Amino acid sequence: MTILVTGARGNVGRRVLERLHAAGHTLRASSRTPEELSVPAGVDAVRLDLNRPATFDAALSGVDKAFLYAESEGAKELFAAAARAGVRQIVLLSSSAVSGPHAGTDALAVAHAAVESALEASGVPRTVLRPGAFASNAFGWSHAVRAGAPVRIPFPDAHTAPIHEDDIADVAVAVLDGDAYLGRTLDLTGPRSLTFREQLGILAGALGRDIPVQELTRDQAVEEMGQFVPAPILASLLDQWAEGVGRPATVLDAERVTGRPARTFEQWAREHLGAFTAQD
């Protein structure tokens, strides 16, 4: 059985590839720039650009199962190519935004829902993963923390239940192993609801020093974060955070799929402390 892992150097894809490789699977790893991929011995690196249908057939030929990032442009053509290739399961990395209260209007949700719908319409057997906020979003604070400057964020008291990327990868591998999760959609979170301020407190505890927090107004956040995040996505994130203030996030952690306790944000902080202490 050959398994294709797209985005093989992404936060989640890289971890999925490592686990499947350790389990001895025959693997194909894809990227828009496969020449820049570093893959374990015996893994094929192929070009797959989810926006360029001309790359689909070659990348999917002979593939039995695939781990896929959601990319709405080209999704219909991609799933048609997967059906032609006889792919038996696609595990799609989607987003919990699709299950959210504003799924019809929220830009993140609309984009991910379009991919989910195209996959369903294609008839290719599927499992959809809808994680909430990734623990690794905390990397966004690392520059300020390293500099000893206040972390400037809007809605510091907004709750999320951050999920460790290793848990998303463990779930992906569990659902690729056999047919038990075919046709299922799995909402996934970390094990505990935490505000951004509490996450920063956990990082501060791991670092052994305070991390000052400076609250931004929504307008200030639009001005500062708008330099890096497309406007509709930023609006969607700000809406989600505004709604999360004082409202603990629902916990639907990975343990129900993996059978192992979900990794905590404390563990994530310990494992990634170097990013918050290293000098530029």
Ligand X SMILES: NC(=O)c1ccc[n+]([C@@H]2O[C@H](COP(=O)([O-])OP(=O)(O)OC[C@H]3O[C@@H](n4cnc5c(N)ncnc54)[C@H](OP(=O)(O)O)[C@@H]3O)[C@@H](O)[C@H]2O)c1
Binding site for ligand X (CB under 6 A): 6-7, 9-13, 31-33, 48-51, 69-71, 93, 95, 131, 133-134, 137
Indicate the residue among 209 and 251 with the shorter CB distance to ligand X. 251
Q: List, in order, residues 6 or more apart from 269 with CB less than 8 Å away.
A: 138, 202, 203, 205, 206
Indicate the residue among 12 and 24 with the shorter CB distance to ligand X. 12
Within 10 Å of residue 106's Cβ, how many Cβ atoms? 23
CA nearest to 63, candidates 79, 41, 40 = 79
For residue 18, which amino acid is it?
E
Indicate the residue among 210 and 250 with the shorter CB distance to ligand X. 250
Indicate the residue among 39 and 148 with the shorter CB distance to ligand X. 39
For residue 268, which amino acid is it?
W
Q: How far is the CB of 185 from ligand X (least distance, A)?
A: 13
Question: Which alpha helices (DSSP H) does the chain contain, by range?
Answer: 11-22, 56-60, 75-85, 107-122, 142-147, 165-176, 196-207, 218-225, 231-244, 255-258, 265-271, 274-277
Q: How far is the CB of 22 from ligand X (least distance, A)?
A: 19
Residue listed under structure tokens 């192993």: 177
Bridge-based pairing of strands 26-31 and 44-47 is parallel
Indicate the residue among 8 and 124 with the shorter CB distance to ligand X. 8
First to last CA, the chain: 43
Q: How far is CA 92 from CA 4, 209, 231, in A?
A: 12, 39, 25
Q: How far is the CB of 148 from ligand X (least distance, A)?
A: 26
Indicate the residue among 48 and 85 with the shorter CB distance to ligand X. 48
Q: What are phi and psi of 224, to 5 degrees?
A: -80, -50
Q: How far is the CB of 220 from ligand X (least distance, A)?
A: 21
Q: List, in order, residues 6 or more apart from 148 with CB less than 8 Å away.
A: none
Indicate the residue among 122 and 160 with the shorter CB distance to ligand X. 160
Q: Measured between alpha carbons, how far is 36 from 40 in angstroms, rounded to an integer?
A: 13
In eight-state DSSP terms, residue 253 is B
Q: Which residue has its beta carbon closest to ligand X? A: 10
Q: How far is the CB of 208 from ligand X (least distance, A)?
A: 27
Q: How far is the CB of 210 from ligand X (least distance, A)?
A: 25
Q: How far is the CB of 113 from ligand X (least distance, A)?
A: 12
Indicate the residue among 7 and 191 with the shorter CB distance to ligand X. 7
Q: How far is the CB of 265 from ligand X (least distance, A)?
A: 13
